Chains A and B, each alone.
Chain A
Amino acid sequence: MFLFLGLAGVKMPRKTTGVLGVLAMAVTTIIAYAAAFTYFFGTDQGQVVDGVRQAIVTTDWTWLSFFKDQLVVKLGVLLDPISAMMLVVITTVSMMVHLYSLGYMSDHHGNPEKGFQRYYADLALFTFSMLGLVVSTNIFQMFIFFEMVGVSSYLLIGFYYESPAANHANKKAFIVTRLADLFFLIGILTLGYFTRTYDFLEMLSTPDKAQAAIATAGGATFMGCSVTAWALTFIFIGGAGKSAMYPLHIWLPDAMEGPTPVSALIHAATMVVAGVFLIARMFPLYVIEQGAMDIILVVGAFTAFYAAAVACVQSDIKRALAFSTISQIAFMMTSLAVSSSNSQLIGGHEAGLGYMASMFHLFTHAMFKALLFLCAGAIIHAVHSNENSRMHGLHKYMPITSIAFLIGCLAIAGIPPFAGFFSKDEILVACYEKGLGWGLWMSMVAGMTAFYMFRIYYLIFFWKKHEVHGEHEPKDQPWTMTLPLIILATVSCVAGFVPFGNLVTWNGAPLATHTNWAVAGASVAIALVGICLATVMYYKENPLPEKMKNAMSGLWTAAYHRFYMDELYQFITHKIIFQGISKPIAWFDRMVIDGFFNMLARLTGGAAYAIRRLQSGNTQTYVAIYFLGALLLAAITTVVILLI
């Protein structure tokens, strides 16, 4: 029965037409749904043993084998709660994006889009890599698919390869994530070397095994910390690169140069959560190594706040959404990190609450963020601009999009009964259990989320009457574009009622979830405050935002420039790395290494030039010299013999 999933994995990344792509994607989606459904609700496979959901490996095929089987790289399909959930998320969003792209990519500012087939091929490649990533049975397979995801992301960001901005953006994305993947690889190798296995099941399936894996490392230490902690930290850096955690987030806002459906698929819903998925996959190890977990906690909490602050002032709709994504992913990371500390029952909640909440949020976030991005795509398609100064007052023209966007905003802000409420509430509860400070911090960020999302919403759809730019009035888009919006909006409304605690937990045992009304009430109140604030400031045109901007102009400018992180990177790469390191190395290479060989060549050439006049072509001269030489030799020989 689970062989179906294999089919989902090997979906060929070559579809010549969009329709074929959509159909293939639909088949994949159905298969993945079937697999996930069978996994969660099937009874004939013995997935549930003693109330604990087992992980299942359907195929595991040895791909590479080195050093007489000491290092074996396998490819296989591993199905457990999180990978089944990810299958659903990826195929759903990907399906929506495929369908949506039929409409979105059909024309580009009025002209037929170039490279339509390339686009679908890239999308299919991406989906394939992502599916392969989530069903990986070992870290190496995961790393391979991690790279493939990076490559397909690079291709899709640079889809408009004629635009320099897109080229810069895809290079930046690729380099930054590549750098992070380097650390990931170091982490993998360290971990594999000391624990003697790369296999997830061997390493992680139960806490005992994880403990044993770490024990195998034998307490080897490096610079005061255990090697496993180092390895896990490096692996986290890899995940942070993909998931755009501070300070490796810089590529994500630029990645918005790609077509908007791509942003929805890759940079909102699926690829960027690969890092979260990675940490979740390695969770049993992280639980034991608290040092690595604390790093994740601090990075996650800071990123959540930082990205939310930046998102409050961005004028480009997609950039604002991108920072919102960073912030939400940081929520998931934080949630994972706080999950570890609850090693015993606290306040009626079990240990893995944060983990469950994180996965839940991953699921709901994928839905509503894809929805928001697809709405943004529809708007951009209608007004041909990313800047929200060109939008304003679109509510009258695009009612369906407007309502869908509103639902997305409500969901992300955490208003019941929309999806985000449930997952975010669980996260906040988990944070409060970790400590009051963390809880308050994350609540504040949640309030900011509500504020900036509604700021965007009002600026797009209200604020003032729309001035028509371009040749036609903006209007709702064709059905291929609105249908996904409607479906995703519906999902965003109801996804919160999925009994997630029964399905996805870190050790497979069901986890009872209770809505903590104190926390929930507080977070809803904060969200409402944020929304009200946004309503007051942005519902219709007024001078208030301008005044606030002037009052805090320094802060505003800094936030608008993303707190100068890009400039800092520019400075580091150009001034320090290029000038300070690369230049001396280049000089050394040119002057010393090249110089040495140039000198050899020059010496030989010079010597040859000096003696070439001896070769006159005059035979008799040669003979004369030959005789002289022979005489000289004879004389020398005679002298030597006489002396001896």
Chain B
Amino acid sequence: MEITLLMYLVPSLIMFGCGVYGFITRKNMIAILISLELMLNSVDINFAVFNRYLFPHQFEGMFFSLFAIAIAAAETAVAIAIIINVYRLAKKVDINDITKLKF
């Protein structure tokens, strides 16, 4: 059985949907961060797969995925740092309690 483009895209879409759902519904900020990673990873898959199937002699998509993974790692570090600080301040990591960041 030949593996087609669609066979990669459907799991990716499911991953992305899960990420969105988790991002909106979870209250714990760590869980929200994990959901965010899920969405990022699904996008990475898309990059790689589109590159592989549509433009097999070029590598931009691959590089872009690697780049996005590196960025995501850095971003996660920053997010964790923020969450830890919030925790020190408020003694909890519930997103509903962090509503001070408005004007």
CB <8 Å contact, A619 and B95: yes
- Within residues 592 to 644 of chain A, which ones have a CB less than 8 A from any CB in chain B? 615-620, 623-624, 627
Q: How far is the CB of A449 from chain B (nearest CB, A)?
A: 81
Report the nearest A residue to B23, measured CB to CB. A623
Q: When the two chains form the complex, which single residue of A615, A624, A627 contacts B102, counting CB atoms closer than 8 Å?
A: A615
Report the nearest B residue to A617, measured CB to CB. B99
Report the nearest B residue to A615, measured CB to CB. B102
CB <8 Å contact, A623 and B102: no
Complex Cα–Cα for A620 and B99 (A)? 10
Complex Cα–Cα for A615 and B103 (A)? 8
Q: How far is the CB of A183 from chain B (nearest CB, A)?
A: 58
CB <8 Å contact, B24 and A617: no
Complex Cα–Cα for A616 and B101 (A)? 9
CB <8 Å contact, B100 and A624: no
CB neighbours (8 Å) of B23 from chain A are 620, 623
Complex Cα–Cα for A616 and B98 (A)? 10
CB <8 Å contact, B103 and A619: no
Q: When the two chains form the complex, which single residue of B24, B101, B103 contacts A623, counting CB atoms closer than 8 Å?
A: B24
Report the nearest B residue to A624, measured CB to CB. B24
CB <8 Å contact, B95 and A620: yes
Complex Cα–Cα for A638 and B31 (A)? 33
Q: When the two chains form the complex, which single residue of B20, B32, B98, B103 contacts A627, counting CB atoms closer than 8 Å?
A: B20
- Within residues 554 to 609 of chain A, which ones have a CB less than 8 A from any CB in chain B? none
CB neighbours (8 Å) of B24 from chain A are 620, 623-624, 627
- Within residues 80 to 103 of chain B, which ones have a CB less than 8 A from any CB in chain A? 95-96, 98-103
Q: How far is the CB of B48 from chain A (nearest CB, A)?
A: 22
Q: How far is the CB of B52 from chain A (nearest CB, A)?
A: 24
Report the nearest A residue to B100, measured CB to CB. A617
Q: How far is the CB of B20 from chain A (nearest CB, A)?
A: 6
Complex Cα–Cα for A620 and B25 (A)? 8
User: Interface code A250-266, partner B: CB below 8 Å = 1, 0 otherwise?
Assistant: 00000000000000000
CB <8 Å contact, B20 and A618: no
Complex Cα–Cα for A102 and B80 (A)? 89
CB neighbours (8 Å) of B95 from chain A are 618-620
CB <8 Å contact, B102 and A619: no
CB neighbours (8 Å) of A615 from chain B are 102-103
Report the nearest B residue to A618, measured CB to CB. B99
How many residue pairs link A and B with beta carbons under 8 A? The number is 25
For the complex, count residues of A whose C-beta is within 8 A of B: 9
For the complex, count residues of B whose C-beta is within 8 A of A: 13
Complex Cα–Cα for A623 and B96 (A)? 13
CB neighbours (8 Å) of A623 from chain B are 23-24
Complex Cα–Cα for A487 and B19 (A)? 110
Q: How far is the CB of A366 from chain B (nearest CB, A)?
A: 75
Report the nearest B residue to A627, measured CB to CB. B20
Report the nearest B residue to A620, measured CB to CB. B24
Report the nearest A residue to B36, measured CB to CB. A623
Complex Cα–Cα for A627 and B25 (A)? 13
Report the nearest B residue to A630, measured CB to CB. B20
CB neighbours (8 Å) of A620 from chain B are 23-25, 32, 95
Report the nearest A residue to B26, measured CB to CB. A620
CB <8 Å contact, B98 and A619: yes
CB neighbours (8 Å) of A617 from chain B are 98-102
Complex Cα–Cα for A231 and B45 (A)? 89
Complex Cα–Cα for A615 and B23 (A)? 19
- Within residues 32 to 55 of chain B, which ones have a CB less than 8 A from any CB in chain A? 32
**Interface hub of B98, B99, B103 (most chain A Cβ within 10 A):** B99
CB <8 Å contact, B20 and A616: no
CB neighbours (8 Å) of A618 from chain B are 95-96, 99
Report the nearest A residue to B103, measured CB to CB. A615
Complex Cα–Cα for A620 and B32 (A)? 9
Q: How far is the CB of B35 from chain A (nearest CB, A)?
A: 10
User: Interface code B13-28, partner A: CB below 8 Å = 1, 0 otherwise?
Assistant: 0000000100111000
Complex Cα–Cα for A616 and B100 (A)? 9
Q: How far is the CB of B94 from chain A (nearest CB, A)?
A: 11
Report the nearest B residue to A619, measured CB to CB. B95
Complex Cα–Cα for A623 and B33 (A)? 13
Complex Cα–Cα for A618 and B98 (A)? 7
CB neighbours (8 Å) of B100 from chain A are 617
Q: When the two chains form the complex, which single residue of A616, A624, A627 contacts B99, counting CB atoms closer than 8 Å?
A: A616
CB neighbours (8 Å) of A627 from chain B are 20, 24
CB neighbours (8 Å) of B103 from chain A are 615
CB neighbours (8 Å) of B20 from chain A are 627
Complex Cα–Cα for A217 and B100 (A)? 78
CB neighbours (8 Å) of B98 from chain A are 617, 619
Complex Cα–Cα for A50 and B102 (A)? 95
- Within residues 50 to 75 of chain B, which ones have a CB less than 8 A from any CB in chain A? none
CB neighbours (8 Å) of A619 from chain B are 95, 98, 101
Q: How far is the CB of B75 from chain A (nearest CB, A)?
A: 16
CB neighbours (8 Å) of B99 from chain A are 616-618
Complex Cα–Cα for A615 and B24 (A)? 16
Complex Cα–Cα for A624 and B20 (A)? 9
Q: How far is the CB of B1 from chain A (nearest CB, A)?
A: 31
Q: How far is the CB of A625 from chain B (nearest CB, A)?
A: 10
Complex Cα–Cα for A618 and B96 (A)? 6
Q: How far is the CB of A331 from chain B (nearest CB, A)?
A: 78
Complex Cα–Cα for A633 and B101 (A)? 27
Complex Cα–Cα for A617 and B99 (A)? 4
Complex Cα–Cα for A617 and B32 (A)? 16
Complex Cα–Cα for A615 and B101 (A)? 10
Q: How far is the CB of B19 from chain A (nearest CB, A)?
A: 11
Complex Cα–Cα for A87 and B91 (A)? 93
Complex Cα–Cα for A624 and B21 (A)? 9
CB neighbours (8 Å) of B102 from chain A are 615-617
Complex Cα–Cα for A230 and B101 (A)? 73
Q: How far is the CB of A607 from chain B (nearest CB, A)?
A: 15
Complex Cα–Cα for A22 and B99 (A)? 81
Residues on B facing A (Cβ under 8 Å): 20, 23-25, 32, 95-96, 98-103
Q: 12 A-B pairs, CB-CB below 8 angstroms?
A: A615-B102, A617-B99, A617-B100, A617-B101, A618-B95, A618-B99, A619-B98, A620-B25, A620-B95, A623-B24, A624-B24, A627-B20
Residues on A facing B (Cβ under 8 Å): 615-620, 623-624, 627
If A617-B99, A620-B95 are given as contacts, then 15 extra A-B residue pairs at C-beta distance below 8 Å, sorted by A number, are A615-B102, A615-B103, A617-B100, A618-B95, A618-B96, A618-B99, A619-B95, A619-B98, A619-B101, A620-B23, A620-B25, A620-B32, A623-B24, A624-B24, A627-B24
In the complex, the 8 A-B pairs of residues with the closest C-beta atoms, listed nearest first: A617-B99, A617-B102, A615-B102, A624-B24, A620-B24, A618-B99, A617-B101, A623-B23
